[in-house]
Amino acid sequence: MHRHVFSFLIIYLKRKNNIRLKLPDFRLDPSILKESLILGVPAFIQNAGMSILVLVVNNSLGYYGGDSAIISYGMAHKFITLLILPMLGIAQGFQPVAGYNFGAGYYSRVRKSLKAALLSGLTIISIGYILTMLFPEACMGLFTADPAIKASSAGVIRLLIMVVPLASIQIIGTSYFQAVGKAREAMFLGLSRQFIFLIPCVVILPGFLGLNGIWLAFPAADLLSTTLTSILLILEVRKLNGNEEKNRKAKAVA
pLDDT at 25 over 70: no
Say how many domains are in the chain: 1
For 5-20, write each residue's pLDDT tens digit.
Answer: 566 556 555 555 566 6
Kindly report the average pLDDT of the chain as a whole number: 86
Phi/psi of residue 22, each to 5°?
-125, 160
Q: Which of 5-14, 59-68, 97-106, 211-220 has the lowest average pLDDT? A: 5-14
For 196-227, write each residue's pLDDT tens digit.
Answer: 999 999 999 999 999 999 999 999 999 999 99
Interior angle at CA 131, CA 194 and CA 136, nearest 5: 75
In a domain, 96, yes or no: yes
**186 within 8 A of 178, measured Cβ to Cβ:** yes
In a domain, 16, yes or no: no
Return the pLDDT at 13.
Answer: 58
Confidence of residue 248 (pLDDT cuts 50, 70, 90): confident
pTM of the model: 0.82
Return the pLDDT at 38.
Answer: 64
Return the pLDDT at 12.
Answer: 58
Return the pLDDT at 221.
Answer: 94
Return the pLDDT at 247.
Answer: 73
Name every residue whose Cβ is closer than 8 Å to that of residue 29 and which is 6 or more positions away in sequence.
none
Range of the domain at 91: 31-253
CA distance 190 to 21: 37
In a domain, 6, yes or no: no
Q: Which of 32-36, 74-78, 97-101, 120-124 has the lowest average pLDDT? A: 32-36
Return the pLDDT at 112.
Answer: 93
Return the pLDDT at 50.
Answer: 73
For 141-186, write each residue's pLDDT tens digit.
Answer: 999 888 989 998 999 999 999 999 998 999 999 999 988 888 788 8
The amino acid at residue 152 is: S
In a domain, 223, yes or no: yes
Structure-derived torsion over alpha carbons of residues 77, 81, 82, 85, reported in degrees to the nearest 10? 170
The b/e string for 82-91 (b: 16+ C-beta within 10 A; e otherwise) is ebbebbbebb
Return the pLDDT at 39.
Answer: 64
For residue 172, the tally of other CB atoms under 10 A from its CB is 25
In a domain, 244, yes or no: yes
CA distance 221 to 195: 10
The amino acid at residue 173 is: G
CA distance 194 to 170: 12
From the number of C-beta atoms within 10 Å of its C-beta (0-12, 13-18, 19+), residue 209 rates as middle
In a domain, 21, yes or no: no
Short-list 102, 120, 100, CA closest to 111: 102
